[in-house]
Amino acid sequence: MKVKELGEQKILEKIVKELPSHLLGDDCAPIPFGNYYILTTVDGIHEDTDIPPGMTYYEAGWYSCASSLSDIAAKGGFPISVLASVFVSEDFDVENILSFLKGVDECASLFGAKLDGGDLNFGEKFSADVFVMGITEKKSYVSRSGARPGDVIIVTGTFGTPSGVLKKILGGESVPNKLREKLMKPRPRVWEGVVLTSLGIITASIDSSDGLYESLKTISKDSEVALVVDYDSIPKDEWLVTNFSSEEVFNHVFFGGGEYELVMTSKPEILDRIEEIREDLEIDITVVGEVKEGRGVYVKKDEKIMEVKGRGWEHFRRH
């Protein structure tokens, strides 16, 4: 069967089924090592599917690294080391390879890691993989499957802006630089992940690379619970709300992706500490909903509750 007939999600399910490993199927592979888990993750980037018009190679490197760091962040890990493997054609400009690697290195450097190695290969078009290794204490490790009814749902940052920005850029419109950077140069929530998981009350954690809905759906599925979010509570940038129709905003928020924010569930004790976390720890978190018995992702909006269905970012089907 062809890739386009099955789609990314079903292919990944098939891989997990046919190559059984308890480590496959989370953001990172957690490798036990004494009192620690070493966390490893990789994200690929391809010129045709992942590099929007106007993104520089420096930004593409930053973006790739941020995307992998975000997976480490979701597990409460510190990044330790970064490798990058690059595929380029014979006619590719060498300076662009260097720009890409500098983007990778400088994003990693924000969090104390560095680009430590990699590989250089032939490819018709530019593509690359950025591999990040991190570490977390076993007692801080949070999977996607620990959400329980009665928990609350918390998120960092805002949602919808990166895909709103992409929409405008693809339509040839200009976007304020600060917002453009939310798409092109996202800041992975490494510090936030380390601090929040160390509280000992986070029950499930994932990043929102593929869209808020996809993150919530994954926690719902892996934890066997229903997640109910209050639409008005979800943080949205003013720019998004004023530049799109309310239906478009809804779609960007749930299905847009590219935020690289954290989506977590927590024991309700966190409610007493939200102000402390926001003010003393300077972590921009918001409570957006609660965990219930059942399955699925629901949204409270205009005094109604409806089930959200659809799909976040998926390779091959959207392409």
Residues 6-65 that bind a second copy (CB under 8 A): 6, 8, 11-12, 14-15, 18-19, 21, 23-26, 28-29, 31, 38, 40-46, 48-50
112 touching a second copy, by CB under 8 A: no
Helix (H, G, I), strand (E, B) or coil at 240: helix
Q: 254-267 in b/e burial notation, b at 16+ Cβ within 10 A?
A: bbbbbbbbbbbbbb
28 versus 277: smaller Cβ distance to a second copy: 28
117 touching a second copy, by CB under 8 A: yes
145 versus 286: smaller Cβ distance to a second copy: 145
Helix (H, G, I), strand (E, B) or coil at 262: strand
2 touching a second copy, by CB under 8 A: yes
Select from 115, 216, 253, 270 the one that contacts a second copy (CB under 8 A).
115
Query: Of the candidates 277, 3, 269, which has an alpha carbon nearest to the alpha carbon of residue 151?
Result: 269
260 touches 166 (CB < 8 A): no
143 touching a second copy, by CB under 8 A: no
130 touches 101 (CB < 8 A): no
Measured between alpha carbons, how far is 298 from 305 in angstroms, rounded to an integer? Answer: 6
Q: How far is the CB of 32 from a second copy (least distance, A)?
A: 10
| Alpha helices, H only, 110-160 | none
**The one segment of 98-106, 137-145, 230-238, 302-310 that binds a second copy by CB under 8 A:** 98-106
Amino acid at 103: G
Question: What contacts 53, CB < 8 A, 6 or more positions away?
Answer: 169, 170
Which spans of this chain sit near a second copy (rule: CB under 8 A)? Answer: 1-4, 6, 8, 11-12, 14-15, 18-19, 21, 23-26, 28-29, 31, 38, 40-46, 48-50, 80-81, 83-95, 97-98, 101-102, 105, 114-125, 127, 129, 131, 133, 315-316, 319
